[in-house]
Structure 1
Amino acid sequence: MARWQPGTRERLQAVALRLFAEQGFEQTTVAEIAAAAEVTERTFFRHFADKREVLFAGQDDFLALFIDPITAAPADTAPFELIARSLDAAGDYFPHDRRPFSRVRQTIIDAEPSLGERELGKLATLKVRLGEVLRDRGVPEPAATLAAETGVTVFHLSFQQWIAPGEDRSLATIARERLDALTSLVATGRTVGGTSE
């Protein structure tokens, strides 16, 4: 069997995704994934701790994608703009050619409750980290937590739309649309509530 070929990790991911989609996540074994990718099980475990990590690997990169634009922003950047910068970076991380992979991955996660819980846990971790980074920049409470929660909610809703059948807009475009809708909602709510000046 071939070992340590260039692109082995990516090939394992592609093969695993195909098998998960065809057979179901629980029904697919590491041995089957390795055999289909023409590597040994030992090689599989050099790249992934277990078969779940095929779907969830890269958590640190995922967090950094949102956090790095915040830490790099000028000190006087408003919290809402910090979140917008994070979402723009997310758009760069999910280009058009990644959409088919993301669509299949989400289908697999949606079909398996334990995977869905893991996905929600990933988003919960992101909320916590965003809140910490915003507070480290001096954003007070409750603004820091509200901004973090808002950022993750907008990302989640935008991502779901991005992988929807027939959708071809960029993730960044969809996220900006939802941020604009949120801004409009808040502004309208203040006017309707009679609290605008």
Structure 2
Amino acid sequence: MNFKDGIVILLTKQEYMQRLYKALKPLSKENRNKVMNDYELQFSQEMKNGKTEQDIIYDLGSPEDAAEYFINMYQSDRGYHDHYNIEQASNKNSSTAHSWEAAIWGTLSIIIVPTMIAIMLAFFALGIAFCIAGMVMVFSSFILNSLSIGFFFIAVAGVFLSVFGIFIAILSIYDGIKLIGKYFRFIRNRIKYGGKAK
């Protein structure tokens, strides 16, 4: 489940902590409070570092999955060691979300990237068409070899059209490649960092 786009991202810190406390019910009160205190500390430290509640909740993952991790850990007598286990639990939870997100964005890329390339090539072809049309206009005015003002303006317009066409063709390739690069960086950030810029 993609927790960032699902229910968890809609939770506030208070709601998240309530659900975590409820899900930790199989633990003793002492162990449950220990986990809750460490999560409170985790929220406090991360918010001091500039993260929002939503960012922290996304990193921590589902409160039910986190609770299941700690319950299994206590039941297997592996013990509990402060924030290292919070990090392990959140990595376990968010890895599933990131896997789903990677699959979704990978599938969308099969449609989006060829569409972006097609649009880029369409603008490039349009630019080349303008350029050719302009050259034809210039060439035609020279072939007609007329000194009239009308043919002179046709030649000047042809030159401007050719320059405009070349400009569109170059710009479409440049901006197209730049846009595709930004798109892939966006996907990398979504998958690796949960959409947060790095």
Is the shorter-chain TM-score for this pair beyond 0.5, marking a shared fold? no
Structure number with larger C-alpha Rg: 2
Q: Higher helix share goes to which structure?
A: 2
Q: What TM-score bracket applies, with the shorter chain setting the length?
A: under 0.3
